[in-house]
Structure 1
């Protein structure tokens, strides 16, 4: 079990680095968005088109990368959306079991399906070197690769979460270290 927990720590460290990369992209996407808006309004004011499809597409590519790279990071930090009726009242050990079963029976199969059905779509895009149909647009095959990268990252982090939950269920880890208590939200 200690070897599995060591693997889990390695995965968690990797996911932290990927999450930091996603964080770095946030101010970049904001800057590109500001650039797009400023160009549009200045261009209108002087009667010249200053914007380009390159920057518009770069903005949504970067935003997509933030979302797709950040999904495993959100899973690691238990920041994903959880809709539950019973879970919040469970003791930590039962929460660990529910998380383990959810990972094994929902997260991992779902990611497997994403990979299975996404592979031909991405492969075709790479085969034809798909580009934007808009003048000055960016290559599409690069961003479509993240359709596969995201579920791979989720699978890797899901394995780490499963290891930690299994260890907590067996009593090797304190369940309160693995299961983050839900935050109270006041409306």
Structure 2
């Protein structure tokens, strides 16, 4: 494959590996917030912000780690037939289905950017009693979807190479 494609795949894999490994630690931050929530409800005045903050952290954990999960091929897959196929057949099927994934993530990113622009322009807040600004979490969501889109394209290139009997590593 072309040198530019190889460089793209290496750069996206490296970036998503670093971001994914950092995002893994958000689970501990979320657990800390939930522990504080439990303690505050039993020992003193309950905090209004803990549940929604834990939800925001879970969104960041899930979306920022999504591309890393795709890179490791650690996501859930229905492999009733897939696991019995030859590697080349898997790569050909993956090339065909990657187009749908890339289209879906493109539409999702387009909608996410539109929603983020709305949140920034109108200073959108949550309807909860804490009422945090929604723009920061929407920006994180757009970044996560963009990283998954970039990783999907890199995986597409890897699958094309595998279908041709080559490797991009």
Q: Would the TM-score normalized by the shorter structure come out above 0.5?
A: yes
C-alpha separation in 2, matches of 1:143 and 1:103: 27
Gaps of 5+ in 2: none
- 1:32-58 deviations in Å (ceiling 9; x for gaps): 111101111113xxxxx2x22222222
Equivalent-residue separation in structure 2 for 1:5 and 1:120 (angstroms): 32
Establish whether residue 81 from structure 1 lines up as the match of residue 76 from structure 2: yes
Equivalence for 1:163: 157
Match of 2:13 in 1: 12
Q: Distance in 1 between matches of 2:127 and 2:29?
A: 24
1:54 corresponds to 2:49: yes
What is the aligned partner in structure 1 of residue 91 from structure 2? 96
Please report the TM-score for the alignment, with normalisation by the length of structure 1.
Answer: 0.82
Q: Which residue of 1 aligns with 2:140?
A: 146
CA contact 2:112–2:138 (8 Å) conserved in 1: no
- Aligned residues: CA RMSD: 1.8
Report SS of the residue matched to 2:49: helix
Q: CA deviation at 1:87?
A: 1.1
* TM-score normalised per structure 2: 0.90
Number of equivalenced pairs: 168
Secondary structure at the counterpart of residue 39 of structure 1: helix
- Structure-2 separation of matches of 1:55 and 1:100: 42
* Contact 2:60/2:141 (8 A) holds in 1: no
- Unaligned stretches of 5+ in structure 1? 44-48, 178-187
Which residue number corresponds to residue 30 of structure 2? 29
Q: CA deviation at 1:81?
A: 1.4
Give the CA deviation at 1:29: 0.7
Structure number with greater Rg is 1
